[in-house]
Amino acid sequence: MSSGSTCAVVGCHNNSRKLKNALETFCLEHQQLRKACPCPPPYALHSMPRKEDRKLAWLAALRLKHPPKRVYVCSFHFIDKKPTELHPDPELYLGYDRPPPKKRRRLTRTTLSVTASNQASISTQPPEPHLHSVHTQWEDPSQQDHQYCNRSRRKDVQDKMTQCDEVAYFILQNDADALLYTGIALETFNTLVSTLEGYDNNEFTMPVRDQVLMTLMKLKSNRVIGDLSRQFHISQSMASKIISHWLDKLEEVLRPLIPWLPKETIQATMPEAFKKNFPNSTCIIDCSETLLQKPRNLGSRGESYSHYYSHNTVKYLVAVAPCGLIMFVSAAYGGRCSDKFITMDSGILTYLKPGDEVMADRGFTIKDLLFERKVRLVIPEQVTYTRRIANVRIHVERAIRRLKVYKILSQIVPISMAPKVDKILRICAALVNLREDLIRDTQ
């Protein structure tokens, strides 16, 4: 592709080939190709004017060391989406930062009339260190936010500034792409984005669709922040802030998607494998662990050390309904905690009612806890009984496998992410519940 059909702005990759490919895609709203539907194209390429004064103004705005013979600029860099009389030149997202003015060294001259206190007041003060918010995760201190427009103009044009939506637009073409990058179907992702529209932060100029996609890509593939920031054309620190913001909002919005089902619903959605052998089952519980980066603090290191994995881990309890729906996921505990302690401390016992039946592995020594609440514990004891339980307990293992499809939970969790692990667990569990049924033989 020649440079003549590519946007000349530094860092912008919009060109005529991408535009042509976009028009060949299918419009879900109008059920036809985008080149035939009334939807506007994602962007347009505008050629540099021939008038000498306007030509010089464009080149000055673009700051190109070696401008091509034919200069094109896409509509994302114009305030009005195209050259107009009021705004004829490209002004937005020009891909460079204006360097700060050089600081002149301050000279202090002492005279006989100057006191010691006055000298101290006019002496050069040391620069304050750059501090990061403790709530911002995965932040690279060496990176700073990009400034895509002049600070003096930002407030005036903030309402008109929109960023290219091409990242999410080109990445998510079908359900296969959506499952690969987010773990949910494309229609489900679009519904989720529309639900989250009112939870965005005005500080972020990036479209909400791209922000949510980047956050889910972090959960699904656990890519490093630098890689995500390059793909979405933002700084690493801005990517960290966006992901931290949406982890909080996603957990708030998706929390109701992990419901404790009523007894009637559990019975109505129970698969045949349960109805035949364990008709009174309420839930299947199991504990899982995720590797944790070794803490520097010796106390935390001892609390999170798992003898089973010979590694520092976080441990959590998962309860799955017979139909495969995740009904409960506990907070993250240190790998040293026992299954019994987590069951007692996590709050799951408050959901159990007299007459319920809980299925668990042999390692769960919680019979006394359940007996107090008149709840029956089903664990493998005899060979025949063990086979029957194994045939149905496999469903909770499949649910946990779906949970660990999100690589943020199947790889080593950095210490910097430890404060967010509880929310990440609930978000991933809710996203698993948004997928198709785990068990399909329900009646």
pLDDT of residue 251: 95
Q: How confident is the model at residue 428 (pLDDT cuts 50, 70, 90)?
A: very high
Residue showing tokens 């918010």: 133
340 and 284, same structural domain?
yes
- Provide the CATH number for the domain around residue 299: 3.30.420.10
DSSP tag of 345: H
- Say if CB 392 and CB 284 are below 8 A apart: yes
pLDDT value at 269 more than 80: yes
One-letter identity of residue 293: Q
383 and 245, same structural domain?
no
For residue 225, is it within any domain? yes
Handedness of CA 44, 47, 51, 55 (dihedral sign): positive
pLDDT of residue 443: 40
Considering 23-37, 139-153, 266-280, the range whose residues carry the highest mean pLDDT is 266-280
Name the pTM for this structure.
0.61
For residue 333, is it within any domain? yes
Q: Which of 75, 96, 117 is the last residue of a domain?
A: 96
Q: Which of 96, 113, 137 is the last residue of a domain?
A: 96
Cα separation, 59 vs 67, in Å, equals: 8
Assigned token pair, 233:
């054309």
170 and 78, same structural domain?
no
For residue 78, is it within any domain? yes
Residue showing tokens 């976080």: 314
For residue 409, is it within any domain? yes
169 and 80, same structural domain?
no
For residue 120, is it within any domain? no
Q: Which domain covers residue 303, as residue numbers?
A: 258-434
Q: What are phi and psi of 247, to 5 degrees?
A: -65, -40
387 and 345, same structural domain?
yes
Q: Which of 96, 123, 152 is the last residue of a domain?
A: 96
For residue 208, is it within any domain? yes
322 and 366, same structural domain?
yes
Write down the mean pLDDT value for the chain.
79
Cα separation, 285 vs 364, in Å, equals: 9
407 and 271, same structural domain?
yes
Give per-residue pLDDT as tens, 272-326: 878 888 888 899 999 999 999 888 777 777 888 888 888 899 999 999 998 889 9
Indicate the SS3 state at residue 358. strand
Give per-residue pLDDT as tens, 352-410: 999 999 988 877 889 899 999 999 998 876 445 566 666 667 776 787 888 889 999 99
Give me the residues paired with residue 86 across strands. Answer: none
427 and 328, same structural domain?
yes
For residue 234, is it within any domain? yes
323 and 251, same structural domain?
no
226 and 287, same structural domain?
no
For residue 373, is it within any domain? yes
403 and 266, same structural domain?
yes
pLDDT of residue 297: 79
272 and 333, same structural domain?
yes
pLDDT value at 419 more than 80: yes
- Our count of domains for the chain comes to 3
pLDDT of residue 431: 95
Give the contacts of 207 (CB within 8 A, at least 6 positions apart): 162, 163, 165, 168
Least-confidence region, from 27-31, 79-83, 135-139, 407-411: 135-139
Q: How buried is residue 7: exposed, middle or buried, by Cβ count under 10 Å (0-12/13-18/19+)?
A: buried
